[in-house]
Amino acid sequence: MTPSDKAAVPDSSDLRAERGDTVSALERGLSLLRCFSEDRPMLGHAEMARITGIPRPTVNRLVATLLANGMLKPAAVADRFMLGPGVVSLARVFLGSLDVRAVARPHMQALAEEGGASVYLAVRDGMEMVLIEACRPRSSMLSPRLDVGSRAPLPNSALGRAYLAALAPAAREQLIDSMRLLRGPEWDAIAQPLQRALAQASRTGWTLSLGEFHREINSVSVPLIGPGEEVMALNAGGAAFVFTEERLREEVGPRLRELARQIAGEIGGRLPLEADAASPP
């Protein structure tokens, strides 16, 4: 299984203890749905079995059930499948229930226009962050790299690092241990930059990713806590030659932090790193 395959199934059984109150068939069905991504919009039975580790006969039965319930649909290519309209309906209900999007959107759009940045709001899903809102300058002629529903890995994206920085130490270490197991040998190259980013977050209130998620893209993220204690992250950035490390540190980071504070205040939330970041670097 390749690293990208592993990332597609963030809630696999090796990341959590077995619990007696879960339904294994439902978990397996959900793991099939999580195989699909922007990079893999169409999959066949064999590919889903390889990615999830679920036996092929079981995959066949699960796919038939998901097809019958509208969660999958046949693709134009024979014996391959795509996410179905049932998934879209659930996603719309989920997104519609997030009032924070309605509050955040005008502030995010204003920052996008003001600084020429792409601005994102994301929540965690397994070992990734998933975008729930995306704003970019109306004058931009560039095609967006990310949009609502796009995903970013926890350890090497600014969004994921901001999320991790907002967690209580015990919860953060537990999640990092899970990532270490999932990533295997490649973890050594990820761990040190991640720890530097977390240390920086404790001083400044934001995290950076300098070409580590997307090459030639630099970004900065700030975590915020919603009224129900849900952790989210705001992100701003763009092309590295425009959003240099210096600009992110001196201009965009402080501006994004102020934006996060404003949004948190309007939704009855808070900034998790407020006390630490108030101290001198």
pLDDT value for 142:
55
Q: 98-278: same fold as 3-84?
A: no
Strands (E), 213-260: 217-225, 231-239
The domain defined by 3-84 folds into Arc Repressor Mutant, subunit A (1.10.10)
pLDDT value for 6:
44
Q: How far apart are CA 231 and CA 167, in angstroms?
A: 8
Residue type, 269: G
For the chain, give every domain's residue range: 3-84, 98-278
Three-state secondary structure call for residue 57? helix
Residue type, 149: G
What global pTM score does this model have? 0.68
98-278 under CATH 3.40.630.40, yes or no? no
| Residue pair 141/159 in contact by the 8 Å Cβ criterion | no
pLDDT tens across the length of the chain (281 residues): 444 444 444 444 443 434 456 678 888 888 999 888 877 889 999 999 999 999 999 999 999 999 999 999 999 888 899 998 888 777 777 666 667 888 899 999 999 998 899 999 999 988 889 999 999 887 765 545 677 888 889 999 999 999 999 999 999 999 999 988 888 888 888 888 899 999 989 899 999 999 888 888 999 999 999 887 889 999 999 888 999 999 999 999 999 999 999 999 888 888 987 644 544 44
